[in-house]
Each structure stands twice: as C-alpha cells, then as structure tokens.
C-alpha cells in the first residue's frame, strides 16, 4: 500500500511522500488565491471554494484568511455554514461540518496526529482520523477539535474549549478538556 493510500485509513504513514506533496501543493495554490481575494470579490470566493472543497453547500461563507493543509480538499461543508477569520482545517483527511453551523474566529479542526513513539515522530510519520461536526452547531472563538472527534447536532462549544472526546447532540460543552455542562432545552432556544 502506498503512503498516499494510507492517508485516509488511520494508519501511520509518511506525509512527506513526493506523490502526497505534489498533490498538496496544487491544493494550497488555490487556497493562496482564495486568501488574496478582495472583499468585493464574493463571487470569486464562492467559485474558488467550489473548486477547493470536497463538498460545499449553498450559501457557505469562510472569512479569509483560511488555513488548510490540503487547501480544503478534504473538507465537506453543508449549506449555510459560516466560518469567521482564521479557521484552520488540518485536513490531511476528511473534515465534515453540518448545515447551519457557525464557527467563530481562530478555530482549529485537526484531523492529523503524530505517533507517541518519539522515533516515528522524528522520522515525520503521522496518522489521520476524520472530524465530524453536526448540523446547527456553534463553535466559539479559539475552539480546538482534535482528530477522531464527533460533535452532535445542535451543540454549542464554548470559547477556548479543547474537544478531545465526542460530544453529544443538544448540549453546551466547555473547557479543557471540553465537557458537557448542560442540555439545551427547547424553551432556551427562543432568544
């Protein structure tokens, strides 16, 4: 199995493989173009996102600058997703964001990790696990979501939280490590 084939399996692989790097540079070129757009070039931004992302729903908006290891190529965003400044998608494998989700400034969605073995890290090896963010979520400023984590629908993650384990649907979760502090009751959702 090639290094590129291992990239989406969760197995340890070498991301510096020439085949992977060549592909990565192509995707980062489009990301560079996106980040150089003028505020008046909304249509150009939308068209670039359609070229860059694996999937992008209607009415999606990502405020530049946007950072992504593979230029968003492994990102799957639903419709009406809004991401504020400095979204970092470590998209070495797939990152899924559901419809109507809001992402505050300086959020990191990381799908790549490194082995605990220092020798493997020294050689530059890594492994990847997908990230899943549900529909109608709100990730506060500075949230970090680590590889392999899923966040359920209708959930709010408080600013500065580090999400290291799955979070269920319909809750408010905060902290480092992030933990559920309350369920969201229907009567609380009406402002």
Looking at the DSSP bridge assignments, the partners of residue 167 are 151
Per the listing, tokens 């600058």 go with 65
**190 pLDDT band (50/70/90 cuts)?**
low
**Catalytic annotation present for 132:** no
The answer, yes or no, to whether residue 134 has pLDDT greater than 90, is: yes
Question: What residue ranges in the chain does DSSP mark as E strands?
Answer: 55-56, 61-62, 66-68, 75-77, 82-83, 87-90, 95-97, 102-103, 108-110, 112-113, 127-128, 131-133, 138-139, 144-145, 150-151, 156-157, 162-163, 171-174, 179-183
pLDDT in tens, 20-47: 999 999 999 999 999 999 999 999 999 9
Q: Which of 67, 94, 114, 132 is catalytic?
A: 114
**For 53-72, what is the mean pLDDT?**
98
The answer, yes or no, to whether residue 191 has pLDDT greater than 60, is: no
pLDDT in tens, 100-133: 999 999 999 999 999 999 999 999 999 999 999 9
Superfamily for the 3-189 domain: Hexapeptide repeat proteins (2.160.10.10)
């Amino acid at each position: 199995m090639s290094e590129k084939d291992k990239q989406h399996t969760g197995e340890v692989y070498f991301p510096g493989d020439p085949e992977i790097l060549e592909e990565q540079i192509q995707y980062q070129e489009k990301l560079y173009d996106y980040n150089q757009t003028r505020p008046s070039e909304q249509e150009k931004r939308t068209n670039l996102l359609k070229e860059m992302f694996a999937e992008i729903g209607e009415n999606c908006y990502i405020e530049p600058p946007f950072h992504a290891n593979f230029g968003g190529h492994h990102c799957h965003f639903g419709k009406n997703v809004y991401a504020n400044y400095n979204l970092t998608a470590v998209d070495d494998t797939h990152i899924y964001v559901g419809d109507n989700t809001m992402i505050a400034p300086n959020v990191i969605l990381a799908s790549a990790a490194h082995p605990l073995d220092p020798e493997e890290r020294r050689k530059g090896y890594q492994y990847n696990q997908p990230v899943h963010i549900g529909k109608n979520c709100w990730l506060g400023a500075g949230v970090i979501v680590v590889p392999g984590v899923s966040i359920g629908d209708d959930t709010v993650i408080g600013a500065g939280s580090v999400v290291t384990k799955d979070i269920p649907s319909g809750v408010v979760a905060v902290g480092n490590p992030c933990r559920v502090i309350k369920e969201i009751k229907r009567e609380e959702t009406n402002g």
